[in-house]
Structures are given as structure tokens and as C-alpha cells.
């Protein structure tokens, strides 16, 4: 290689590196794989030991599904991509990913739910008076396609993009739903206990830098 070209190449790489790095955000593993540090359990029966509902094994978060409730992050988040994987280990029933949760904690909190009910993953529910442009009547917006969930026992992926006042849902890489002009755009993130055992893994949040 010509020395001048070589020096120019090195210069360009060094010069460009800060700009390339500026566009990258650090991925955040929301669970440490061992315990619920950074999360708060909220259950309909306050006498229930959270450890009887939520447990970890080999990096997998297990929810027994009863009693009703959720765990939610202690921190608020906005403008992010949330990736997670889930599977049903028994007869599949109901669960959900709660987005933009506002306090106070209660069953159920102010939030927008990305549904995980069996064969309904990709639906939206607006809870506690929240809403968005696509809602016409009630608080439910069905997914855009027929279910593309895998058979119970197999892992599914959910990729949720929250950007400003838009939430986009991908189930197993298929665009299933989109909510725009949401009335909430930041808050805590929760996972729902509402039915039968369900497991989660690889729960990763990637901030979006505008």
C-alpha cells in the first residue's frame, strides 16, 4: 500500500472513531440472572412471598403465574428497544409486558401493555386511562396478523421499540402492532403474573439516542 494512502486510512479511522462510538449505546441486561435486584414485586396478595412467584435458574426468570401481579423496574426508561424471550412451560394462559408504568403500584397500574396472552402476543391494552391514536373503542388493539407464536415449550422473541410517543411490537421478527401518539412515553417496565407458569430470558434494553 502506498505510504500516503496508508497514513490517510489510519487518520480517517482515528478521526471517525469518536463519531462511530457516539452512535452506539450500551446494552443493559435488566436482570442479573441471579436475583431481583433492581426490580420491585407487586402482588395482589401482599402476604405472598415474592420468591414463591418469581425465581431464577440458569439465567432464566420463572413466574408461577399466581397470584396476579407483576415485577417492575425501579428505574424509569424512555426511548429504547426492549428485547426478551419467553416460553410457556405448562398449559399456556396469560401474561404481558407492561410499558411506561406510573406509580402508585396497584393491580393493574397505569401503563400500556404489550400482550403475552397465548395466541395474542402482539396485542395492545391501554390500562388505567392511557391511550393512543389507533384506539377506537375500549382499551384493546388487536395485532395486525394471525398469531405467529411457537408451540408451548419453545422460546419466542419479543422486540419492543419505544420511541417518543410510538410503540412498535415485533413477535418472532414479525411486525405485529404499532401504537402512535401514546399518552405516556416514559416509566417503569414490568412483567406480568396472570395465569400459569411462564419463563423469560435475555431481557435486554438498548437506549435509543436521538
Query: How do residues 7-25 score in pLDDT, each as one tens digit?
Result: 443 333 333 333 333 344 7
Domain at 39, CATH number: 2.60.120.560
For the record, the C-alpha cell of 122 comes out as 402482539
Q: Please give the tally of structural domains in the chain.
A: 1
For the record, the C-alpha cell of 51 comes out as 420468591
The reply to whether 12 falls in a domain is no
CA–CA separation, 118 and 87 (whole Å): 10
Closest to 149 in 3D by CA, of 84, 87, 75, 101 = 87
The reply to whether 56 falls in a domain is yes
The reply to whether 146 falls in a domain is yes
pLDDT of residue 77: 98
Please state, rounded to an integer, the average pLDDT across all residues of the chain: 90
Query: How do residues 45-75 score in pLDDT, each as one tens digit?
Result: 999 999 999 999 999 999 999 999 999 999 9
Which of 33 and 195 is assigned the larger pLDDT? Answer: 195
| Global confidence as pTM | 0.88
The reply to whether 11 falls in a domain is no
pLDDT of residue 160: 98
In terms of residue numbers, what domain contains 65?
A: 27-207
Amino acid at each position: 500500500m502506498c505510504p500516503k494512502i496508508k497514513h490517510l486510512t489510519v487518520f480517517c479511522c482515528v478521526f471517525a472513531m469518536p463519531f462511530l462510538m457516539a452512535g452506539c449505546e450500551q446494552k443493559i441486561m435488566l436482570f442479573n440472572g441471579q436475583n431481583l435486584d433492581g426490580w420491585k414485586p407487586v402482588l395482589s396478595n401482599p402476604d405472598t412471598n415474592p420468591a414463591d412467584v418469581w425465581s431464577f435458574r440458569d439465567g432464566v426468570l420463572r413466574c408461577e403465574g399466581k397470584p396476579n401481579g407483576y415485577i417492575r423496574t425501579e428505574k424509569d426508561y424512555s426511548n429504547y428497544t426492549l428485547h426478551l424471550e419467553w416460553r410457556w412451560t405448562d398449559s399456556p394462559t396469560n401474561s404481558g409486558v407492561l410499558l411506561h408504568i406510573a406509580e402508585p403500584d396497584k393491580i393493574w397500574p397505569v401503563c400500556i401493555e404489550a400482550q403475552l396472552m397465548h395466541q395474542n402476543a402482539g396485542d395492545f391494552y391501554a390500562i388505567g386511562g392511557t391511550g393512543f391514536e389507533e384506539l377506537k373503542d375500549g382499551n384493546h388493539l388487536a395485532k395486525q396478523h394471525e398469531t405467529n407464536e411457537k408451540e408451548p415449550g419453545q422460546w419466542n422473541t419479543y422486540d419492543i421499540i419505544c420511541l417518543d410517543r410510538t410503540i412498535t411490537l415485533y413477535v418472532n421478527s414479525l411486525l405485529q402492532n404499532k401504537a402512535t401518539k401514546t399518552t405516556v412515553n416514559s416509566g417503569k417496565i414490568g412483567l406480568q403474573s396472570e395465569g400459569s407458569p411462564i419463563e423469560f430470558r435475555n431481557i435486554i434494553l438498548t437506549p435509543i439516542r436521538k
